[in-house]
Structure formats: C-alpha cells, structure tokens
Amino acid sequence: MCIKVAKFGGSSVADAKQFQKVRDIIQADSKRRYIVPSAPGKRHAEDYKITDLLYLCHEHVQHSVPFDQMFDMICDRYLGIIDELNLSIDLEPYLIDIKQKISEGASVDYTASRGEYLNGLILAHLLDYDFVDPKDIILFDKYGSLDAEKTKELVSKRLMEHERAVIPGFYGAMPNGEIKTFSRGGSDITGSIIAQAVGAEVYENWTDVSGFLMADPRIVKNPKQIEKITYHELRELSYMGATVLHEESVFPVREAGIPINVRNTNEPDNKGTIIVSNKEFINPGTITGVAGRKDFTVIAIQKNRMHSDISFIRKILSILEANNVPVEHLPSGIDNISIVIADSNLGNKLNKLLKEINEQCSPDCIEVYPNMALIATVGQGMVYTRGVAARLFTALAEAGINIRMIDQGSSEINIIVGVETNDFEKAVQAIYHGFVE
C-alpha cells in the first residue's frame, strides 16, 4: 500500500480541539500511516509554546531557581488535552520522571525534547497507533550532526515492523544514547527523514496556513497562496525567513524525489502548496515569493586594485574561518567586497575580526553597517522574464527605501537586497505589491 507521512506542527496540536482535527485528517486517508507530531504550540498570539517553557525550566535549574510553577503550566496543558479528549492514558508517571530528571540537571536537549515525546504518547493513544521513540531510530554522530545513512537504514527497518506509528519530531540520540535535538522548528526535518526512509508517495506538512504564501502573512495582509513551488525555491525562501518549513527539511525528500505538500489543519479541503523537483515545474510569470530576515551586520572593505592582489579574498575568508564565523553573502565590486554576517554568528567577535582584517589585509577603508535586514525575492521563472530587477528596485524606490546592498546569486533564482532593519516590513510589502496586484 502507498504511504503518506504526515507531520503536524505545534499549532496543529496546541489543544484538544486541534487534536480532534488531526485525528479526523488522519482517519480520512488510510495511507497516512506514519505521523510526526510537534509539541503543543501557541493557541493564540499571546500564548506560550511548550518547547519555550521547557527551555525556561532548564534555564531556571541552571540558575538554581525553582521551576515548579513553569512545570505546572506544562503539566496543565497536557492533562487538559487528555481530559478534554476523554483519554485513559496516565501521563502522571511520565511527568514525574521528567520533572525529576530536569531538576537533577538533565541536558537542555533532553528537556526540550520532552514536549514532542509527551505529545507523541498522547497522539499514539488517541489514534491507536504504535509509538516509536525517535531516540532509537534518528541518529546523530558524536559531533552532533545527523548520521543520515545510518538513520535512513534504521528508520526503514524499524518502521517495517509497524503498520502504523506515531514518531515524535525534533529529536534523536547521539551514539552514547544522549538525546539530541535539531535546531528550532526541526520536527519538519524528522518528517522529511521518515518520508524518505519509508519511500512515501508524499510528505504532508500540516500547519496553520493554507500552504506556502508569497510573503509572510504577519507582514503582508492576505498574501497569495503558492500552488506549486520547486525544492530549490522553497530552500531559498525558507532559509531566508519563510518559517513555515525548516530550511533543512527539503534535503531528505528531495534526494528521494518525494513531493512535500504543505496543508492547513484548520482548512483540510484546501490543497495547499505542493513542492516538486526543478525539472517538473517552473513557476510561470515573474516571482514565486519574497522572504527576509533581520539582524545582519555588513563589513564593507575597500582596497585599491583588489583584483591584482590574488590572496586578498582568501586572507579575509581565512580570518573568518579561524574565528569560526560563517558568511552569509559576499557581494563584490572591482575594488571592494562586502561581508554579510548574521548577528547570531558574529556574537562579540566584530572588533577582533576588524583588527585582524586591518593587520593582515591592509585595506584602504573598512566600514561597518549594523542593523541590516536581508530580503530575498525568489523565482525560478525570473531567469526567463525581462525587467524583474527594474520592477523590484522601482518598488523599493517608490516606497522611499534605501537599498544598502544587492546580491544576485549566479543561479539567478533570487535577488537579495540589504535594507535598514527599520525599513524591513515596509520593504517586504513594497516588493510584494510591486509584483502582485
């Protein structure tokens, strides 16, 4: 029988009502055999995500501050769900054990992973599916990177023993058995890994929006839904801030040629967005979507006759490598190059970097632009469409936005502009409306 793997994000399993919707969706299609839930997310804008509360519990223990109140909030959420769904599962022993471990100084990853673990137990009970703990099948190496080959082998072998199963998202284990999580939003990756390993016909990613939208709905009002998009475009948009899918989640399914279908738990009849390979489809028209992120710093370096000093760029990159600072973009001109770095990667290393670049590269001028936001306008069809750049820059100019940096990837699938953080939302809106009536 064909298999569908369905991942349900935190918003889809935030309370008992959402659990009921999830059950209805799963029961509507018997191919939905492997289910990956996240931890309960926000029920409304001011609510707390269970994962955030768990991270806070860990913080409290680190500072020897009691965390009982916080943990009670977590227990209330789960017990409320069980109660409302009228389930007979007894979660108390699990909660007692988890609280004990956290108070004894359990690792941050173990603590955070319990949100998914507990939700998985509840969902498996509700559906009468087997529960498979990802600590036994999602494996990380001793450096904390996913061991993709071993994981794939183990997942497909273990899941063959289960006709239907719930596998909590977000975590796995290291070779010594210690729990390890992916980065935030990582249940999307778990779903993708499972879909690849079982050879699913589709990887369904259920969330609270009807698929991938052309822009972040928190910035642009009612953005258009994208019907079809390529893995490549998806990767660009999610990396650049379209948080609906984790940027790493595209790789396992892409390798296996399995389409991703982003669907809305609150509107299950909507077909959502389907993500397919580049060969199958290129969005006609101009752009596919726009996404952006804040909190970047740009180091602009000028050096006369930079081109004739063939070691110049290598030296700069060596300094960044030695300081363990990854580079986001490197737009360059004839006598200048800009280094774009995410503030989260830069930390407090800026002065050290500037000192070393000055000493080792003797530039003519270095300028630093903090508080930058990057916005990517993405679309595979852009290559075949004239005037996209003109339209983009006109939209920004008409909105009175100063562009501080431009970078067009050599694949021509996106154009990235750097603007002041204060202009971020306005710029995204201007670009969107520049292309969409």
Ligand X SMILES: N[C@@H](CC(=O)OP(=O)(O)O)C(=O)O
CA atoms within 13 A on the CB side of 417: 22
The one-letter amino acid at 325: V
DSSP state of 421: G
CB of 123 to ligand ADP, least distance (A): 14
Task: Establish if 208 lies at the interface with ligand ADP (CB under 6 A).
Answer: yes
Task: Establish if 283 lies at the interface with ligand ADP (CB under 6 A).
Answer: no
Task: Establish if 172 lies at the interface with ligand X (CB under 6 A).
Answer: no
From 38, 45, 96, select the one nearest 72 (Cα to Cα). 96
**Nearest to ligand X of 22, 405 (CB atom):** 22
Binding to ligand X by CB under 6 A, coded x per residue (else -) over 106-145, reads ---------x------------------------------
Stretch near ligand ADP under the rule CB under 6 A, chosen from 148-156, 204-212, 343-351, 400-408:
204-212
CB of 172 to ligand ADP, least distance (A): 18
**Nearest to ligand ADP of 132, 237 (CB atom):** 237
In DSSP notation, 293-321 reads: EEEEEEEEEE-TTGGG-TTHHHHHHHHHH
Task: Establish if 266 lies at the interface with ligand ADP (CB under 6 A).
Answer: no
Q: Is the dihedral of CA 77, 131, 151, 229 positive or negative?
A: negative
Task: Establish if 242 lies at the interface with ligand ADP (CB under 6 A).
Answer: yes
Task: Establish if 9 lies at the interface with ligand X (CB under 6 A).
Answer: yes
CA atoms within 13 A on the CB side of 192: 28
Query: 212-250: string of b/e by CB count within 10 Å (b at 16+)?
Result: bbbbbeebbeebebbebbbbbbbbbbbbbbbbbbbbbbb
**Nearest to ligand ADP of 63, 221 (CB atom):** 221
Backbone angles phi, psi at 54, to 5 degrees: -65, -40
Task: Establish if 44 lies at the interface with ligand ADP (CB under 6 A).
Answer: no
Whether residue 5 contacts residue 195, with contact meaning beta carbons closer than 8 Å, is answered with: yes
**Nearest to ligand ADP of 18, 111 (CB atom):** 18
**Nearest to ligand X of 181, 377 (CB atom):** 181
Can you read off the two tokens belonging to residue 430? 């201007």
Q: Which residues bind ligand ADP (CB under 6 A)?
A: 9-12, 38, 41, 185, 207-209, 212-213, 215-218, 242-244, 289, 291
Residues at the site binding ligand X, with contacts judged by CB under 6 A: 9-10, 38-39, 41, 49, 51, 115, 169-170, 184-188
